A and B are shown apart, each in its own frame.
Chain A
Amino acid sequence: QKEVEQNSGPLSVPEGAIASLNCTYSDRGSQSFFWYRQYSGKSPELIMFIYSNGDKEDGRFTAQLNKASQYVSLLIRDSQPSDSATYLCAVNGPSGSARQLTFGSGTQLTVLP
Chain B
Amino acid sequence: EPEVTQTPSHQVTQMGQEVILRCVPISNHLYFYWYRQILGQKVEFLVSFYNNEISEKSEIFDDQFSVERPDGSNFTLKIRSTKLEDSAMYFCASSAEPFGEQYFGPGTRLTVT
Contact = CB atoms under 8 A, between A and B. Distances in A.
Given A32-B99, A34-B101, A34-B102, A99 B48 contact: yes
B16 interface: no
Interface in B23-37: 31, 33, 35
Contact of B105 (A43, A93, A97): A43
A97 B56 contact: yes
Contacts, number: 58
Interface string A68-90: 00000000000000000000101
Nearest to B89: A43
A109 B105 CA distance: 23
A102 B105 CA distance: 17
- Which of A31, A36, A92 gathers most chain B CB within 10 Å? A92
Interface string A82-113: 00000010101100011111111110000000
Contacts of B99: 31-32, 51, 92-93, 98-99
A14 interface: no
B101 A42 contact: no
A49 interface: yes
A46 B106 contact: no
A45 interface: yes
B56 A103 contact: no
Interface residues of B, number: 26
Report the 9 A-B pairs with minimum CB-CB distance, sorted nearest first. A100-B45, A99-B48, A103-B43, A43-B104, A32-B99, A43-B107, A98-B98, A44-B104, A99-B98
Given A97-B56, A101-B45, A102-B45, A43 B102 contact: no
Contact of B42 (A51, A97, A104): A104
Contacts of A92: 99
Contacts of A42: 106-107
